[in-house]
């Protein structure tokens, strides 16, 4: 049971490049989400999904796309990277159907630098 | 936008001292969670509180949920260097989504030997 995994751990992009941050969970959780963490700003929700095929915007969705084709995977796509997207990105999952438990489990994070 | 205020933002103490971190909102929570995050890692859940007035203990950590479910506190007794990290509170608001959490900005705790 690996929990929530994220790849890559570190990434450097040039302005305008695109890339996908990978996230996978093996806990059969229904809910998955992406956050970015910046100094003094806390964790801010980018996009989330309440199940396969269902996604919605969070607090700071601009410049990011997501899809949820399977329960396990929830990739985050940066369409055209900008220096303002330099941040640490965390994927999280929660809610095993039928348990009533909504605690979130986080991945180890991806540190992204856009130059 | 619902806000969750944490205080203090930074805290530097000596080993053996006690401390309290606060988490406040003007809205009512259906549940509130506390996380600890160490450098280079993701947040790790410490506790969930659900009932107004609830108190939970985790070794030297005591978590309290306000009677009105609008605030919470984390008290650490006899802090140790291993307690160093970023402490985050996160809440689900009454009437909101069961899934979505709102996070405070965190309290960065440093315990010096």
User: Cα(first)–Cα(last) distance of chain B, in Å?
Assistant: 40
Contact flag B43-A48 (C-beta cutoff 8 Å)? no
User: Cα(first)–Cα(last) distance of chain A, in Å?
Assistant: 36
Interface test with B, best of A5, A104, A107 (most B CBs within 10 A): A104
State mean pLDDT over B70-98: 91
By the 10 Å C-beta count (0-12 exposed, 13-18 middle, 19+ buried), B21 is classed as buried
When pLDDT is cut at 50, 70 and 90, the band that residue B98 belongs to is low
More confident residue, A56 or B100: A56
Tell me the two tokens of residue B94: 């009454």
Interface test with A, best of B10, B21, B42, B88 (most A CBs within 10 A): B42
State mean pLDDT over B29-46: 93
State mean pLDDT over A58-62: 93
The span from the CA of B34 to the CA of B41, in Å, is 16
Q: Which residues of A touch B44 (CB under 8 A)?
A: 106
When pLDDT is cut at 50, 70 and 90, the band that residue B96 belongs to is low
Residue B1 has pLDDT above 60, yes or no: no
Nearest residue, CB atoms, B104 vs list A42, A45, A92? A42
State mean pLDDT over B7-22: 97
């Amino acid at each position: 049971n690996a929990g929530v995994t994220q790849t890559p751990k570190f990434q450097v992009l040039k302005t305008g490049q695109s890339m996908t941050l990978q996230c996978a969970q093996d806990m059969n959780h229904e809910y998955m989400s992406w956050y970015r963490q910046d100094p003094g700003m806390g964790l801010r929700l980018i996009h989330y999904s309440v199940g396969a095929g269902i996604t919605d915007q969070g607090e700071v969705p601009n410049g990011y796309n997501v899809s949820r084709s399977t329960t396990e995977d929830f990739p985050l796509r940066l369409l055209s990277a900008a220096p303002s997207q330099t941040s640490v990105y965390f994927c999280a999952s929660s809610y095993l159907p039928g348990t009533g438990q909504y605690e979130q489990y986080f991945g180890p994070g991806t540190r992204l630098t856009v130059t | 936008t619902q806000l969750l205020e944490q205080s203090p933002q930074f805290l530097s103490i000596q080993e053996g001292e006690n401390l309290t971190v606060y988490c406040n909102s003007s809205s009512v929570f259906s549940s509130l969670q506390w996380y600890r995050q160490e450098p280079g890692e993701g947040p790790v859940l410490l506790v969930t509180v659900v009932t107004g007035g609830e108190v939970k203990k985790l070794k030297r950590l005591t978590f309290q949920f306000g009677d009105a479910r609008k605030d919470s506190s984390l008290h650490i007794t006899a802090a140790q260097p291993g307690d160093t990290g970023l402490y985050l509170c996160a809440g689900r608001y009454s009437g909101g989504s069961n899934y979505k959490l709102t996070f405070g900005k965190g309290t960065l705790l440093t315990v010096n030997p």
